[in-house]
Homo-oligomer: A and B are copies of this chain.
Amino acid sequence: MTTLLQNDQFRLAARPVGLPKPSDWNAVNEPVRAIADGEIVVKTLYLSLDPAMRGWMNEGKSYIRPVAIGEVMRAGGVGVVVASKSPKFAVGDHVSGGIGVQTYWVGAADDKTANFYRIDPRVAPLTTWLNTLGMPGMTAYFGLLDVGQPKAGETVVVSGAAGAVGQTVGQVARHLGCRVVGIAGGKDKCDFVVNELGFDACIDYKNGDVREGLKQHCPNGVDVYFDNVGGDILDTVLTRINMKARIVICGAISQYNNTTPVKGPANYLSLLVNRARMEGIVVFDYAPRYKDGVAALAKWMQEGSFKSREDVVKGFDNFPDALLMLFEGKNFGKLVLQVAEA
């Protein structure tokens, strides 16, 4: 390797109030240092842009420590090993892990934070390893199965249906024999999840009434609701749940950039009336079982009965703007930033 490699980075400059602004980032550049025994250099190919990243920018206790001011922004990604002094990875290996928003990652091959693992581009395209076969897919697969516990014939509703997690939730539920109803923003996304992903129906919250849509498309009520959005949509679904319904709290994208307090679900007493349950999930808890999830989803994909849709934005420098697409619902499928040609 050469030490002439330049590592471009976005570091957190300030904690955002509301939507992240350009001034919340510091674009910096440092040379890639020489590596010691046990270390590797990973060249970033694709970065995963996720709603959860907004939460990591806040101070305060959460399921993971906040990104510090001045620190490289945390992000998952896939890359290729371009230098290695570790037996764990060889030059040319494709890996997935916590690369961060930078063009190169340098450190110990067994670093616990980055937690790199080898991925196989012959099984699925690299971007799919950030979507269906990555964190969003694992979130969807284990959150739905373990917490949602859907049974064949039940009705499963998922918000953010065309998004990274939602598309997998709906397709897994379809494979289980459930009636699957998505909620998404815009006709294109709704058409996609019905026509391409095989959902039974999709409610366009931007151009229709969610309550009426649920009445129409969930004639037998809602048994499982997988919530990625929170806010008014969660509140509306709460009015349509069945006895013993399960609500999986996976995220609340509608609330992440609030400058006012989070809107709690005013209809939460529907849980009492219906003896229902609302339960939160964090994907990291399922790490020991990821390989099972990947195997199941890859099998369906190889059989042609499961699709993975990514929305790829090109150019490392576009990171700040690309991230905002998530909160404006502009991405169509899992949002990925292409940093370099594979």
Contact = CB atoms under 8 A, between A and B. Distances in A.
A265 interface: yes
13 contacts: A63-B274, A235-B264, A249-B269, A249-B271, A249-B272, A255-B269, A264-B265, A265-B265, A270-B280, A273-B282, A274-B280, A275-B282, A277-B277
A262 B266 contact: yes
The 4 A-B pairs at the shortest CB distance, nearest first, are namely A264-B264, A272-B280, A271-B280, A264-B266
Contacts of A280: 269-277
Given A264-B235, A265-B264, A268-B249, A278 B275 contact: no
A263 interface: yes
For the complex, would chain A's binding face be called helix, strand, loop or mixed by DSSP majority?
A: loop
A207 interface: no
A262 B273 contact: no
Q: Give the bracket for the number of chain A residues in contact with chain B.
A: 20 to 34
A108 to B, nearest CB: 28
Interface of A: 61-63, 230, 235, 249-252, 255, 261-282, 285
B266 A263 contact: yes
A272 B285 contact: no
Contacts of A62: 273
A279 B282 contact: no
B276 A279 contact: yes
Given A263-B264, A264-B235, A252 B275 contact: no
A274 B285 CA distance: 11
